[in-house]
Structure 1
Amino acid sequence: MKKIALIVTILFTATQIYAQKIGVVDTNYVLSKLPQYKEAENRLNTQIEQWRSDLQKLQAEYERKREAFENEKVLLVGDQLKLREKEIVDLEASVRNTIGARFGSNGEVNQLRSNLTKPYQDQIWNAIKTVSTKNNLGIVLDKSNNISVIFLDKKYDYTEAVLNLLVKTLPKAEENKNNAPSNSNSKTGGKITPRARAQKRGGVEAAK
């Protein structure tokens, strides 16, 4: 009896899922198409490259001093030997700490990346919710979340619909730049008109 009840429950659940209209969205694709996100990601990547460069310099310094110490330690005695040993140990610890603090699983890089994506994830979620309501979707799958989609009919892919909605609602990345005041020749598109050129030439001749 229990087996029959379990089979009925599974069939009912499967029927309910089948009856739901399913949509698919690729959130990674949506993020990659947002200018605001790409600008923030570029700033993050610049910071990461700077940290990598700093780490490489620190590692190079450690390797150089360790090699020098290995070559010279036979000549060192007493406090001099201890000081040089401590310097190498401290440098090695500094390298390890820097790697962990910045590039570890809970390091600054992952924290900054999480802070970068969170505001957009919230907005993507709201856009997906709006698109789902508009298209009567009961289930929405994220194609970028390790879900292997072997075949997908385009009519079930709502990625572009979500992206278009986000583009309309998010402020334009270049808006402030376009509204910035231009130079003194802005009325003529940066060009000097023939009349202005003649006036300028007359002014020069008068000055002579």
Structure 2
Amino acid sequence: MKTALFFVFLCSIWVTIPAQAQKFGYVDTEYILGKMPEYQKALSEIDKFADKWSKDIQDKYVEIEKLQKAYQAEEILLTEDMKRDRQRTISDREREARDYNNKVFGYQGLLFEKKKELMKTPMELIYRALDKVCAQKKLDFIFDKASDFVMLYTNPRHDYSDYVMEELGLDTKPTATNSNPTNKTTTKPK
């Protein structure tokens, strides 16, 4: 009997406590990053590094091609030992070029590390602005529309991207390429 009364007492307390709804929203970090000068600068730096590394790799393959042509031109005149040495040199250079390519552009290679380093500043700025906006708007959850998390529908009233952009001091007005041409009226010919 006591346990039943205790259960009724707990239920009555639980019913009287007001339910608090959790507030959520979303932002589009891809849109925000596109407006950030720090992001544009980081992309430019990443492209410079990628171009430099690509040229280095291309130079290695040009050198290999020269070695192969020289070998083919002199092959008739070479002894078997000389042929093996030249082939080994060419194979070593090809392996070095492949290894360097993997080191730069492979999984978690130099380019990946450079991207991570250069993107740190713009992302930290966004995270700080998100923290402030979430505190100001009393948000419990914030999602990223640009992430791999699939959002099948988003109500624009829950979009806090403009607030984050304001916090970052960015222009929130859409650019000419982003403007919506649906406000134009068209008439049908009779």
TM-score surpassing 0.5?
yes
Match in the other structure for 2:43: 41
Match in the other structure for 1:22: 24
1:75 positional shift: 3.6
Structure 1 residue 143 corresponds to structure 2 residue 145: yes
Alignment partners' CA distance in 1, 2:47 and 2:160:
29
Alignment partners' CA distance in 1, 2:163 and 2:76:
71
Match in the other structure for 2:91: 89
Alignment partners' CA distance in 2, 1:122 and 1:162:
12
1:123 positional shift: 2.0
Match in the other structure for 1:130: 132
Alignment partners' CA distance in 2, 1:108 and 1:42:
16
1:129 positional shift: 1.2
1:124 positional shift: 1.2
1:187-198 equivalent positions in 2, closer than 5 A: none
Match in the other structure for 2:56: 54
- TM-score normalized by structure 2? 0.71
CA displacement 1:16-67 (0-9 Å, x = unmatched):
xx93111001122222211122112212202211211221222232234235
Match in the other structure for 2:71: 69
- TM-score normalized by structure 1? 0.65
CA contact (8 A) 1:132 1:138 kept: yes
Q: What amino acid sits opposite 1:73 in the alignment?
A: E
Alignment partners' CA distance in 1, 2:102 and 2:169:
37
Alignment partners' CA distance in 2, 1:117 and 1:90:
36
1:97 positional shift: 1.5
Q: What amino acid sits opposite 1:165 in the alignment?
A: E
* Helix, strand or coil at the partner of 2:86: helix
* Helix, strand or coil at the partner of 1:19: coil
Quick one: which of 140, 154, 157 aligns to 2:156?
A: 154
Q: What amino acid sits opposite 1:87 in the alignment?
A: T
CA contact (8 A) 1:22 1:156 kept: yes
Q: What amino acid sits opposite 1:20 in the alignment?
A: Q
1:130 positional shift: 0.8
* Helix, strand or coil at the partner of 2:126: helix
1:68 positional shift: 4.4
Q: What amino acid sits opposite 1:167 in the alignment?
A: G
Alignment partners' CA distance in 2, 1:145 and 1:67:
49
Alignment partners' CA distance in 2, 1:94 and 1:148:
41
Alignment partners' CA distance in 2, 1:59 and 1:119:
36
Quick one: which of 102, 110, 116 aligns to 1:108?
A: 110
1:138 positional shift: 1.0
CA displacement 1:59-87 (0-9 Å, x = unmatched):
23223423543564344214422331222
Q: What amino acid sits opposite 2:101 in the alignment?
A: I
1:126 positional shift: 1.4
Q: What amino acid sits opposite 1:105 in the alignment?
A: Y
**Over 4 Å off, 4+ runs:** none
Amino-acid identity (%) = 28
Gaps of 5+ in 1: 1-17, 169-208
